[in-house]
Structure 1
């Protein structure tokens, strides 16, 4: 490898939103100029919680939308390799080999897995979801990723990858780099309903592709201080989603400070605070919308990026798997059996 590599990506379950942006995409935009960057379209990971025929049929559309969102956020197409996870069966082979290097109790301690099952409406955790971090390790290690930017909720997954890489190298020799975790410094973005983090499955997200009217409608419907029944009642700023969004997305710090002061004193209504937020959010999203429109004017670009990226990644993964099997001694096992069979066959052959 000539340059250090970054592996990152998302499940193609729908459009990306502001939570994705502050959680990891902003880091990807910054880092992809520095690293050789692979962006996974993680449709196998999607199957852990969404695996109906209809879910799978939507993958192609969702993949295009997801890649377009990433490009719109600022990733340059000539500096990124996008690929479809399910098109690389070798990743499944690597997952099979790596799953023996981690225990069930270790995976059960990954906090986000139970949350993912709950968000998907699963009363019990599927086997595949328990092994989600192992498949994620295969994703990272198959391209020998050295840098992984993630949101806080995925940090524990990458730590499993680090442990698996160290364990493999200890047992079989140095094959994998131990990836560095780069975590967003921005706190996890709460959803518009105030009930938890922003999530596509919860329907509490502001999508990067939302138009101005949709953003305003979602903002005006946001959860605020439930104890504040009138504008003249002093309100709570701490833990208030509207002000949390102001802190992240409104660059007019003087306006934010004034709104907080008036809110605490009962001198401003929720609507005014929300209208100011809608204006700030739309100004923030306008450059993303403009970039999205430019890519939308180039039909076939995204499909070509996914196609060529998948072919390139397949070649990388095949090389890695050969190296892994050789390090483990698996390549020699069949070779020895075949050679013995050939010798035995020659020794017992009946002369003509």
Structure 2
């Protein structure tokens, strides 16, 4: 029997290259090795976007369409929508009863989200009850399928540790060994910054989307920050001081290309505009096949919805069976 792997992504709409490099590319590989469950976390999206739900349904479809275009296969993995598994909500309630408040408050994911919320324009933004319970809901997502592994970046390991703490507490309180302690499976992925050198994000308007056209991508890449000390094309360049473009070459270029670009830049033989034009072409080449598939799903939305419905039904069957055991362990009526 394959070991179980669970991971999810908030329903934020069309995804960008950071999502692909940091998460999806890894998922595509892992689906061949594990009994994989990948979910769209629409409940999680409501913890901070509870008053902005007009695009929620479309955002869910867009996320799954991007996943499918990038290579997630519903025949190899279970793709589902969090809110179509009500068992998770009930289980979250049980876990909230046994989780100490200070365990939740120290979770870095919650701290980061609270910080983002407080930097919004509204001066009186408060942390909601739902946001406070965010780490426990994430734990319920993982434990619902009794995961062996959770693929995460190094900055998310602390949350898996919280899940492990709650697993141990549950097993200890109810004198059971039903739940396994999930292990973090670290991503060995390329991190990509935004076009302005900061973290790539939709809200920062500095991203390149997986579904962007070749023309849009080329235009966006031309806005990327380079070596600020270079004023003319034939100035000697400093690739290591190039804030965005050379970092992108390190991700998308071959070793030979990167070596040549470094040499030409340092000798003043390569201008930043030329470099970015070639970089845009390189990125477009990399994502050409993915974007062709993405365009297909754009015009075959019913297929995407069917995949969500089928995967959710499959996931709910597993969740229901596990919840029956959980209720029995807790000794619910």
2:22 aligns with 23
2:275 aligns with 273
The alignment status of 1:80 with 2:77, answered yes or no, reads yes
| Superposition pairs of residues 245-260 of structure 1, within 5 angstroms | 245-250=248-253, 252-260=254-262
Decide whether aligned partners of structure 1 residues 235 and 73 sit closer, same or farther in structure 2, where only a CA change above 3 A counts: same
Q: Which stretch of the first structure deviates more once superposed, 20-29 or 111-120?
A: 111-120
1:42 Cα offset (Å): 0.5
1:225 Cα offset (Å): 2.9
2:180 aligns with 177
Contact 1:119 1:202 in 2 (8 A): no
1:7 aligns with 6
The alignment status of 1:66 with 2:66, answered yes or no, reads no
Contact 2:14 2:62 in 1 (8 A): yes
TM-score normalised according to structure 1 size: 0.85
Match of 2:238 among 210, 235, 238: 235
1:337 aligns with none
Decide whether aligned partners of structure 1 residues 264 and 131 sit closer, same or farther in structure 2, where only a CA change above 3 A counts: farther
Match of 2:191 among 149, 174, 188: 188
1:38 aligns with 37
Count of residue correspondences: 326
Helix, strand or coil: the match of 1:268?
coil
| Separation of aligned partners in 2, 1:31 and 1:228 | 43
Contact 1:144 1:176 in 2 (8 A): yes
1:213 aligns with 215
Contact 1:234 1:264 in 2 (8 A): yes
| Separation of aligned partners in 1, 2:132 and 2:228 | 37
Q: Which stretch of the first structure deviates more once superposed, 91-100 or 273-282?
A: 91-100
Contact 2:239 2:246 in 1 (8 A): no
Q: Which stretch of the first structure deviates more once superposed, 13-22 or 235-244?
A: 235-244
1:25 Cα offset (Å): 0.8
1:187 Cα offset (Å): 4.4
2:166 aligns with 164
| Separation of aligned partners in 2, 1:202 and 1:299 | 28
Q: Which runs of 5+ in 2 are unaligned?
A: none
| Superposition pairs of residues 335-346 of structure 1, within 5 angstroms | none
1:216 Cα offset (Å): 0.7
1:340 aligns with none
Helix, strand or coil: the match of 1:81?
strand
Contact 1:7 1:145 in 2 (8 A): yes
Decide whether aligned partners of structure 1 residues 202 and 155 sit closer, same or farther in structure 2, where only a CA change above 3 A counts: farther
Supply the RMSD in Å over aligned alpha carbons: 2.2
Helix, strand or coil: the match of 1:77?
coil
Q: Which stretch of the first structure deviates more once superposed, 238-247 or 119-128?
A: 119-128
| Separation of aligned partners in 1, 2:27 and 2:17 | 14
Decide whether aligned partners of structure 1 residues 3 and 254 sit closer, same or farther in structure 2, where only a CA change above 3 A counts: closer
